[in-house]
């Protein structure tokens, strides 16, 4: 953290842990949240039939639960939802959002 003649800056992270998801159901993993600068890291440790929808100010990013990805977020509100399109219970992936703010 810098202070003094510089604006106060902070960095932090949110970790969204894996959750069991029944067949045909969906869950909101992240309510709409504003980030000035952030990176969303998708670990790829989710189920084969899990679809992740990350909605930003300008786009909808779709990933499978088993895909690893890094998505930058700049001056945007994001929300994340998971859907189980399979016939068995599966896990959502772990997601880490690292951000800086001032």
SS (H, E, C) the chain: CCCCCCCCCEEEEEEECCCEECCCCEEEEEEEEEEEEEEEEECCCCCCCEEEEEECCCCEEEEECCCCEEEEEEEEEEEEEEEECCCCCEECCCEEEEEEEC
Mean pLDDT computed over 23-46: 97
Average pLDDT score, the chain: 94
Residue 95 lies in a domain: yes
Q: Is residue 6 over pLDDT 80?
A: no
The whole domain housing 48 covers 11-101
Q: Is residue 2 over pLDDT 80?
A: no
pLDDT-based confidence at residue 1 (cuts at 50, 70, 90): low
Residue 88 lies in a domain: yes
Domains in the chain: how many in total?
1
Nearest to 67 by CA among 101, 97, 40: 40
Residue 21 lies in a domain: yes
Residue 27 lies in a domain: yes
At 69, which CATH number?
2.60.120.290
Residue 2 lies in a domain: no
Q: What token pair was written down for 6? A: 């510089």
């Amino acid at each position: 953290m810098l202070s003094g003649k510089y604006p106060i800056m902070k960095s932090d992270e949110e970790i969204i842990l894996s959750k069991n998801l029944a067949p045909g159901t969906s869950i909101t993993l992240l309510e709409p949240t504003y980030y000035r600068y952030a990176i969303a890291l998708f670990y790829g440790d989710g189920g084969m039939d899990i679809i992740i929808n990350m909605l930003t100010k300008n786009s909808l990013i779709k990933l499978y639960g088993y895909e690893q990805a890094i998505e930058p977020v700049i001056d945007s509100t994001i929300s994340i939802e998971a859907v189980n399109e399979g016939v068995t219970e599966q896990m959502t992936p772990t997601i880490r959002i690292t951000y800086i703010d001032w």
